[in-house]
C-alpha cells in the first residue's frame, strides 16, 4: 500500500468518524450543513484525489434533506425558533397593476390613482399566490426631481418628448417581511432590461426611508428641503 492510498484510507476513516459524531442527530439540518461544508472545503484543499469522497458526502446530505420526514421536522424546527421563511420570494412575480388602494400608501397617500397612471407612470406589485405583497410606483423622466411637483412636470415633458432615461421610484411599501427588498431587486432588473440609465428615488425625510434604501445598496444623491434622493447602481 503506497503513501497516497494510506492517506486516502485514513481520510475515509476520519470522515466516517466525523459523520458518526456530527450527523448522529440528522434532524439538525443547519448544523450538518455547516459541518459538511467545512469538511468538503478542508478535504478539497488538503487532500488530493478525494473528489469522489466529497461528492458522496454531498449526495448523502442531499438525500437526507430531500426526505419528507426531515423536511417536516426542519419546518417545525424553524417555527420553534421563530425564523421567517423567505422561500416564497423565489416564486414571487413583478407585475404591473391596474389599480391599488392609495390610502395604503404610507408615503404619498394624497396622490390618487389617476395621477399614478397618467403620463406613462406605472404601478408595480410583487405577487405571490394571488396576493400582492409589495407595491412600488414609478415615473419616468430624464432628470432628478426634488419635489412631487417637479416630478409631475418632468414626467409630463418626458412623455411628450419621448426621451425618458431615468426611473423615479417615488413610493414603495410592503405587506410582508422580505417583500420590500425583493421588489426593489425586481425594479433594478426591470430598469436594466428596458435600457434605462438610472433609477433614483424621491423619498421622504424619514429614518425608515433612509435605512431602507441604504440597506438595499443605494447611495444618497441629495438632501432637499422636504425630500431626499437615493440612486441605485445599474
Residue labelled with grid coordinates 435605512? 211
User: Tell me, what's the pLDDT at 26?
Assistant: 44
Q: What is the pTM of this model?
A: 0.66
DSSP per residue, 155-219: HHHHHHHT---EEEEEEEEESSTTHHHHHHHHHHHHHHHTT-SEEEE-EES-HHHHHHHHHTT-E
Per-domain boundaries in the chain: 3-80, 87-232
User: Tell me, what's the pLDDT at 140?
Assistant: 98
pLDDT tens-digit series, residues 62-78: 555 555 555 565 555 55
Residue labelled with grid coordinates 478542508? 42
Average pLDDT, the chain: 81
Neighbouring C-beta atoms of residue 70, cutoff 10 Å: 15
H or E stretch covering 230: strand 227-232
Q: Is 101 left (phi over 0), alpha (psi -120 to 50) or beta?
A: beta
| Burial class for 225, CB neighbours closer than 10 Å (0-12, 13-18, 19+) | exposed
- What tens-digit pLDDT sequence spans the chain (234 residues)? 565 555 556 655 665 565 555 444 445 555 555 555 555 555 554 444 555 555 555 555 555 555 555 556 555 555 555 556 778 899 999 999 999 999 999 999 999 999 999 999 999 999 999 999 999 999 999 999 999 999 999 999 999 999 999 999 999 999 998 999 999 999 999 999 999 999 999 999 999 999 999 999 999 999 999 999 999 998
User: Tell me, what's the pLDDT at 86?
Assistant: 79
User: Tell me, what's the pLDDT at 79?
Assistant: 56
Distance CA 31, CA 191 (A): 39
Fold for the domain defined by 87-232 = Aminopeptidase (3.40.630)
Neighbouring C-beta atoms of residue 47, cutoff 10 Å: 18
- 95 forms bridges with which residues in the sheet? 125
Amino acid at each position: 500500500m503506497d503513501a497516497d492510498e494510506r492517506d486516502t484510507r485514513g481520510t475515509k476513516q476520519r470522515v466516517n468518524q466525523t459523520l458518526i459524531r456530527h450527523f448522529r442527530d440528522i434532524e439538525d439540518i443547519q448544523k450538518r450543513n455547516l459541518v459538511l461544508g467545512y469538511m468538503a472545503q478542508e478535504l478539497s484543499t488538503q487532500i488530493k484525489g478525494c473528489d469522489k469522497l466529497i461528492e458522496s458526502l454531498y449526495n448523502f446530505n442531499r438525500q437526507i434533506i430531500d426526505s419528507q420526514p426531515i423536511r417536516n421536522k426542519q419546518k417545525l424546527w424553524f417555527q420553534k425558533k421563530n425564523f421567517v421563511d423567505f422561500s416564497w420570494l423565489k416564486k414571487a412575480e413583478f407585475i404591473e397593476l391596474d389599480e391599488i388602494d392609495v390610502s395604503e400608501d404610507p408615503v404619498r397617500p394624497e396622490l390618487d390613482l389617476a395621477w399614478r397612471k397618467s403620463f406613462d407612470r406605472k404601478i408595480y406589485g410583487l405577487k405571490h399566490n394571488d396576493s400582492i405583497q409589495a407595491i412600488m410606483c414609478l415615473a419616468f423622466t430624464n432628470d432628478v426631481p426634488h419635489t412631487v411637483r417637479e416630478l409631475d412636470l418632468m414626467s409630463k415633458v418626458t412623455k411628450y418628448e419621448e426621451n425618458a432615461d431615468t426611473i423615479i421610484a417615488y413610493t414603495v411599501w410592503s405587506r410582508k417581511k422580505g417583500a420590500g427588498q425583493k421588489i426593489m431587486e425586481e425594479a433594478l432588473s426591470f430598469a436594466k432590461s428596458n435600457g434605462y440609465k438610472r433609477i433614483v428615488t424621491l423619498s421622504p425625510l424619514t429614518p425608515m426611508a433612509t435605512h431602507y434604501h441604504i440597506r438595499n445598496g443605494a447611495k444618497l444623491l441629495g438632501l432637499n428641503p422636504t425630500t431626499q434622493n437615493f440612486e441605485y447602481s445599474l
